[in-house]
Structure 1
Amino acid sequence: MRAIFAESINPENPLAGLVVGERPDPVEPEGWTTVRVTSSSLNHHDLWSLRGVGLPTDRLPMILGCDAVGIAEDGSRVLVHSVVPDPADPRGYSLLSERHQGTLADRLAIPAGNLVVLPESISDADAAVLPTAWLTAYSMLARGRVKHSDAVLVQGAGGGVATAAVILAHALGKRVYATSRDEAKRERIAALGATALAPGAKLPERVGVVIETVGAATFEHSMKCAAPGGRIVVSGATSGHLASVDLRRIFALQLEILGSSMGTQLELDELVQLVADRGVQPVIDSTFDFADARSAFERLATGDIFGKIVIRH
């Protein structure tokens, strides 16, 4: 079958190990099933895998990808939840493409319980972007108890998780503030319903929830923007993981700093229902045919994207 996989690891030039070629059809362990993939999408996780982060050489070749929509064995149209229980992993789980083969292939094997039946109102392309970045954003808002807050700040909007958080928070009726260094991205963020600001800008109010994926460059600003009792939810650190934290502000304002990674099967079910019920429209940066996957990865590697990159199978 066709597959997009890591054949070798290269921390300095990750695309050097990327191959678009043939791999054996998946083998189903007991309790697993197969899905014929119709669409998938890329994540920065795929580039990290090609650099060897979370993917040692003894697991190569490894089919990449965490996101997929396709046709199940019973003919139903399904979305794949890529979180697989894994007692050997310190997190208690691993993602597809870490220990088990990933989604960027004609077919994939997945635990039978990891499938969500899709409503007809959600297109393949829109569904394909949901299981990683959008699920992470939804879970972050849930961990931040967004229903108890009127306003949300999203740092570094433009990437998949942050852009999803802007759209979802707006769909939930919250006042949304979002930062970006790029003026053109700020204009696009504003069109999604947020008040777009330059990094470090003063907000007109303090917020109950801060969505933080940037890290060291924005964390001080995140703390200053959090209202008393506010929650700063962290799922990434693209600008550096060693942030300075003023502990006086933490205890004086009774702030909470919460870590978040991916989301549960129940949260993916809830996310799909929210997208269907409220007509939420995911932002797709670009779409590539399977055979042109290298170009898709090259675009992802530039970092100059807005929304998600989709692969048509």
Structure 2
Amino acid sequence: MKAILLSETHQPVQFVDAPTPTPGPGEVLIALRAAALNHRDVFIQQGLYPGIKLPVILGSDGAGVIAGIGAGVDPVWRGQEVIINCSQNWGPNPRFYGSEFKIFGMPDNGTFAEYVTVPAKYIHPKPTHLTFEQAAALPLAGVTAWRALMTRAGLHETESKSSENVLITGIGGGAALFALQFAVKSGANVWVTSGSAEKLAKAKELGANGGVNYREPDWAKTLMTETGGGRTGYFDVIIDSAGGAGFSKLIDVAAPGGRIAIFGGTTGNLTDIAPPKVFFKQLSILGSTMGTEREFADMISFVNRKRLVPVIDEIMELAEAETALRRMDEGKQFGKIVLRIGG
């Protein structure tokens, strides 16, 4: 089979011939039709991810057709169109993953290949309203956004006019866009931040009420003026993946009793946080990452019920994986970058 192999960090990936895997007991063999990139793939290539084991076929997200089954797997799966839950071995505690937790695609060989084997308990039927490319965009970013927004920050679906106000920072990446889509489909009033006027405009097309450019020195004041938040803050839920010095402004714009969920730290450590602003406002600051098997299933159910379609930035061929990785590294994408495979 053809595959994308990373042999050394700080080196381009290679388009190679690799042995087609054989499903073991409890596993399925998937003929992949599409795989999506995540920043995790870039971080592994750059040597910036813990526990790197090479060589490895990269890729956590994938969708395809069951081409073979191992012992003990229900034969009904053969020929079914599926997506892969890449959040594996979470463990018994839903509040925190256990010591055996892993993300698919390193140390295990991942989805940047024509075939992959996966434990059958981590496959789900592909939503019928999605193409393989759209379905492949869902797993890692989707479950990350779902846990942060719905589980940790506790957003609930509502038809009421008094729905909650949500702020999502750094719109354009996969998880932030899923958080936007999940919040809009849940009936929330959603605002976003970005360093790009073009991305702010695209977010509004997806249902955001508005947004501000975080490159402006007084963006928080602008946001409060536009939303009517005044001095007390406006946002019941804030989803952040940047951290850094700007996090203190999120505390300013949070409404009393607000919940701030953070799942990334791309701009560095949290600084200049005034504790009284946190405790007098009764704020909850919540760390989050990936999700449980139940959360993944709930996310897929929501996608099916709401007919949600992931945002795709660009579709490339498997052989173009290195070009795709460089596009992701530039951070200019709006939505998921997807590799088309076979078919």
Structure-1-length-normalised TM-score: 0.92
User: C-alpha distance in 2, partners of 1:262/1:300?
Assistant: 20
| 1:160-211 deviations in Å (ceiling 9; x for gaps) | 1111111111111100010011111111111111112122333323111100
Partner residue of 2:42 out of 40, 47, 51: 47
Task: Tell me what 2:167 maps to.
Answer: 153
Change (3 A) 1:217 1:84: same
Contact 2:31/2:115 (CA < 8 Å) preserved in 1?
yes
C-alpha root-mean-square deviation of aligned residues, in Å? 1.9
Task: Tell me what 2:81 maps to.
Answer: 77
Mean CA deviation greater in 262-271 or 233-242? 262-271
User: Structure 1 residue 275 and structure 2 residue 303: aligned?
Assistant: yes
1:98, CA displacement in angstroms? Answer: 2.2
Task: Tell me what 1:197 maps to.
Answer: 212
Mean CA deviation greater in 78-87 or 246-255? 78-87
Partner residue of 1:120 out of 125, 128, 146: 128
Change (3 A) 1:104 1:257: same
User: Structure 1 residue 25 and structure 2 residue 20: aligned?
Assistant: yes
1:259, CA displacement in angstroms? Answer: 0.9
Task: Tell me what 2:58 maps to.
Answer: 64
- Tell me the secondary structure at the aligned position of residue 35 of structure 1: strand
Task: Tell me what 2:261 maps to.
Answer: 233
Task: Tell me what 2:102 maps to.
Answer: 94
User: C-alpha distance in 2, partners of 1:134/1:283?
Assistant: 11
User: C-alpha distance in 1, partners of 2:20/2:50?
Assistant: 21
User: Structure 1 residue 177 and structure 2 residue 177: aligned?
Assistant: no
- Tell me the secondary structure at the aligned position of residue 44 of structure 2: helix
Letter in 1 for 2:56: M
1:273, CA displacement in angstroms? Answer: 2.2
Aligned residues: 306
- Tell me the secondary structure at the aligned position of residue 75 of structure 1: coil
1:24, CA displacement in angstroms? Answer: 2.0
Change (3 A) 1:224 1:207: same
1:280, CA displacement in angstroms? Answer: 1.6
User: C-alpha distance in 2, partners of 1:167/1:222?
Assistant: 21
Contact 1:154/1:165 (CA < 8 Å) preserved in 2?
yes
1:240, CA displacement in angstroms? Answer: 1.0
1:97, CA displacement in angstroms? Answer: 2.0
Letter in 1 for 2:165: A
1:278, CA displacement in angstroms? Answer: 1.7
Change (3 A) 1:182 1:217: farther
Contact 1:156/1:179 (CA < 8 Å) preserved in 2?
yes
- Tell me the secondary structure at the aligned position of residue 31 of structure 2: strand
1:17, CA displacement in angstroms? Answer: 3.8
Letter in 2 for 1:177: W
Partner residue of 2:30 out of 31, 35, 40: 35
User: C-alpha distance in 2, partners of 1:181/1:208?
Assistant: 23
1:195-274 correspondence to structure 2 within 5 Å: 195-199=210-214, 200-201=219-220, 202-203=223-224, 204=227, 205=229, 206-274=234-302
Unmatched 5+ stretches in structure 1: 11-15
1:252, CA displacement in angstroms? Answer: 1.0
Structure-2-length-normalised TM-score: 0.84
- Tell me the secondary structure at the aligned position of residue 211 of structure 2: strand
Letter in 1 for 2:196: D
Partner residue of 1:297 out of 301, 325, 338: 325
Letter in 2 for 1:5: L
User: C-alpha distance in 2, partners of 1:101/1:137?
Assistant: 24
Unmatched 5+ stretches in structure 2: 69-77, 92-96, 158-162
